[in-house]
Amino acid sequence: MVSLSSSAYQLLFCLLVLVFTPFPSHSADPDPLQDICVADLNATFSVNGYPCKPVSQSFPGLNTLGISMARADLSLGGLVPPHTHPRSSETVVVIKGEVLVGLVTTDNIYYSKVLTAGQMFAIPRGLVHFQLNVGQEKALILVAFNSQLPGIALVPTSLFGTTPPIPNQVLTKAFLVGDDVINEIKSKFGA
């Protein structure tokens, strides 16, 4: 049997503490390296978002600030189909119209609300969600993300419009339907 000195036990204890101590997660956007960065959308390369235009630009942009925004104009009955953002939470503000906003939690609980002008809805990162114009006029929404590159995965396209296609055997088992149903859906996505 090997005996260890008290200093060896102390060293072993310190090593175990280091090995099992959780390190902070760095899953957010990286810190910006400059105050203002106007994205060069015509750049031929992209590392983490877009590179910056020369500092002489007079209008600052959102590039490298860890946020982004979008505007969506929804026609009567218009839909932003079910989708997720793998790298961002989202807030939706209705500017005009009536919009049904819904999400599904990881526990498969569906939450929704019909929003009118001035109302807001928050969607946690990675959850499936949608927006549907349920009003009698065109709707306008503004969305904001806590990432400069939130990413988007449209659920219908991700399942039925991939290249190469997901095998019917997988989809028929997942949706408990026959090949004819899957093929009909795939045909709508050009698959």
HEC string of 158-181 equals HHHCCCCCCCHHHHHHHHCCCHHH
Q: What is the pTM of this model?
A: 0.71
For 29, the token pair is 């956007």
Higher pLDDT, 180 or 18: 180
Q: Are residues 143 and 81 in the same domain?
A: yes
Q: Does residue 162 lie within any of the structural domains?
A: yes
State how many domains the chain has: 3
Q: Are residues 134 and 76 in the same domain?
A: yes
How do residues 108-124 score in pLDDT, each as one tens digit?
999 999 999 999 999 99
**Is 70 exceeded by the pLDDT of residue 24?**
no
What lies within 8 Å, CB to CB, of 115 at 6+ separation is 92, 94, 98, 99, 100, 101, 121
Residue 135: per-residue pLDDT: 97
pLDDT band at 171 (very low <50, low <70, confident <90, very high): very high
Higher pLDDT, 25 or 34: 34
Higher pLDDT, 7 or 22: 7
| Separation CA 40–CA 29 (nearest Å) | 19
Residue 59: per-residue pLDDT: 57
Residue 48: per-residue pLDDT: 62
Q: Does residue 20 lie within any of the structural domains?
A: no
Parent domain of 75: 67-151
pLDDT band at 70 (very low <50, low <70, confident <90, very high): very high
Q: Does residue 93 lie within any of the structural domains?
A: yes
Between 60-74, 146-160, 176-190, the lowest mean confidence (pLDDT) is in 60-74
**Is 80 exceeded by the pLDDT of residue 7?**
no
| Separation CA 128–CA 102 (nearest Å) | 8
Q: Are residues 71 and 146 in the same domain?
A: yes
Compute the average pLDDT of residues 83-92: 95
| Separation CA 180–CA 189 (nearest Å) | 15
Percent of residues, the chain, with pLDDT higher than 90: 61
Residue 149: per-residue pLDDT: 85
Residue 21: per-residue pLDDT: 60
26 is in an annotated binding site: no
90 is in an annotated binding site: yes
For 121, the token pair is 């809805």
Residue-averaged pLDDT of the chain: 85
Q: Are residues 111 and 182 in the same domain?
A: no
Angle between helices 168-175 and 179-188 (to 10 degrees): 110
- CA distance to 67, 72, 82, 111, 120, per residue, from 127 (Å): 18, 19, 10, 11, 17
Q: Are residues 120 and 47 in the same domain?
A: no
